[in-house]
Amino acid sequence: MSSESLMRARKTIKGKILELRKGKEELLRREYENFQRYLRGDRSVPLYSATKQQAERLFKRLKGKLKPNKEYPMILRRDVYRAGTKLTPYWLKIPIYGVKGGINVPIKTHEPITEDMVCREAKIIRRNGEWFVYITVEKEVEERNPKSVLAVDLGIRWIATTVNSNNPKPKFYGKELRRIKGHYFYLRRSLALKKAYRAIKRLRHKERRVVNDILHKISRAIVNEALENDSMIVLGKLRGIRKKGKGRKFNRKLNNGFPYYRLSQFIEYKAKWLGIKVVKVSEKNTSKACHKCGNKGLRIGSLFKCPKCGYSCNADYNGAVNILKRGYGYTPYPGAGLTQPLTR
Q: Does residue 101 form part of some domain?
A: yes
Q: Does residue 344 form part of some domain?
A: no
Please tell me the distance from the alpha carbon of residue 194 to that of residue 206, in angstroms, as a whole number: 19
pTM (predicted TM-score): 0.80
Please tell me the distance from the alpha carbon of residue 314 to that of residue 163, in angstroms, as a whole number: 12
How do strand 231-236 and strand 148-154 relate by DSSP bridges? parallel
Please tell me the distance from the alpha carbon of residue 182 to that of residue 179, in angstroms, as a whole number: 5
Please give the residue that has the higher pLDDT: either 100 or 5: 100
Range of the domain at 83: 3-142
Q: Is the pLDDT of residue 134 over 50?
A: yes
Q: Give the full edge-to-edge strand order of the sheet including 167-173.
A: 167-173, 160-164, 148-154, 231-236, 278-281
Are both 109 and 234 inside the same structural domain? no
pLDDT the model gives residue 244: 47
pLDDT the model gives residue 84: 61
Are both 131 and 245 inside the same structural domain? no
Are both 129 and 154 inside the same structural domain? no
Domain boundary among 86, 107, 142: 142
Q: Is the pLDDT of residue 225 over 80?
A: yes
Are both 15 and 112 inside the same structural domain? yes
pLDDT the model gives residue 3: 42
Number of domains in the chain: 2
Please tell me the distance from the alpha carbon of residue 102 to that of residue 77, in angstroms, as a whole number: 12
Domain boundary among 80, 110, 142: 142
Instruction: Say if residues 314 and 326 touch (Cβ distance below 8 Å).
Output: no
pLDDT the model gives residue 195: 78
Are both 127 and 177 inside the same structural domain? no
Least confident of 104-113, 250-259, 299-308: 250-259
Domain boundary among 264, 279, 294: 279
Are both 158 and 274 inside the same structural domain? yes
pLDDT digits (tens, 9 = 90+) for 144-161: 989 999 999 988 788 899
Instruction: Pinpoint the alpha helices (H) of the chain.
Output: 22-39, 49-61, 175-193, 197-228, 248-255, 260-273, 315-327
Give exposure, 78-90, as e/b (b: 16+ Cβ within 10 Å).
bebeeeeeeebbb
Residue 172, domain CATH: 3.30.420
Question: What percent of the chain shows pLDDT beyond 70?
Answer: 86
Q: Does residue 315 form part of some domain?
A: no
Are both 18 and 108 inside the same structural domain? yes
Please tell me the distance from the alpha carbon of residue 77 to that of residue 94, in angstroms, as a whole number: 9
Q: Is the pLDDT of residue 14 over 80?
A: yes
Q: Where are the beta strands (DSSP E) in 67-129?
A: 74-76, 80-82, 90-96, 99-109, 118-127
